[in-house]
Amino acid sequence: RHYVPRISVVRALLTSHADNVFFDPPESVEELEITRNNLMLPPSNINELLEIKADRRKLAPLVCKFCHRKLALTEQHIRCLCEQRFCKKHRLPAAHLCGIDYKQTGRSRITKENPKVSEGGYHKAREE
């Protein structure tokens, strides 16, 4: 006579094993709490979705988008060109892996602000 475990126990074991295989374990208790707080069931209707989005927008300026650290009041008003807010440690584009090309945006801004002068300068001086 063999012991057959209940299906719910087997499912729980498989689920926890699958989670360990696919997801890296948290490195600290804070990271564990952050991941637990970010997990939720999908909304069942559009009203719930809008409520969740509104709650997320309220919390957005309060935490760093890279490390989820709570931001000081002065840090909440500083935005990167990628429209995200970061702490002092991740404020620089290289620190938070920013996708914005700062050199190209600077070049395009210079070309827009300083249009090329045509029919002037050297050609005008030679005609005399």
pLDDT per residue as tens digits for the range 40-81: 677 788 898 898 888 877 777 788 888 888 899 888 888 898
**Rounded (10°) CA dihedral 23, 24, 30, 35:** -10
Task: Output the six-digit token pair for 111.
Answer: 């070309």
Over 60: is that where the pLDDT of 98 sits?
yes
In a domain, 114, yes or no: yes
In a domain, 42, yes or no: yes
In a domain, 117, yes or no: yes
Asked whether the whole model's pTM tops 0.85, one would answer no
User: How far is the C-alpha of 86 from the C-alpha of 95, rounded, in Å?
Assistant: 10
pLDDT at residue 109 in the model = 93
Over 80: is that where the pLDDT of 35 sits?
no
**Is-contact 71 62, C-beta < 8 A?**
yes
pLDDT at residue 110 in the model = 93
In a domain, 1, yes or no: no
70, β-bridge pairs: 63
The count of domains in the chain is 1
Cα Rg of the chain, angstroms: 27
Over 60: is that where the pLDDT of 31 sits?
yes
**Mean pLDDT (the chain, rounded):** 76
In a domain, 49, yes or no: yes
Lowest-pLDDT range of 28-32, 34-38, 72-76, 100-104:
34-38
**Is-contact 68 34, C-beta < 8 A?**
yes
pLDDT at residue 20 in the model = 54
**Is-contact 64 86, C-beta < 8 A?**
yes
In a domain, 22, yes or no: yes
In a domain, 55, yes or no: yes
In a domain, 119, yes or no: yes
The boundaries of the domain holding residue 72 are 7-126
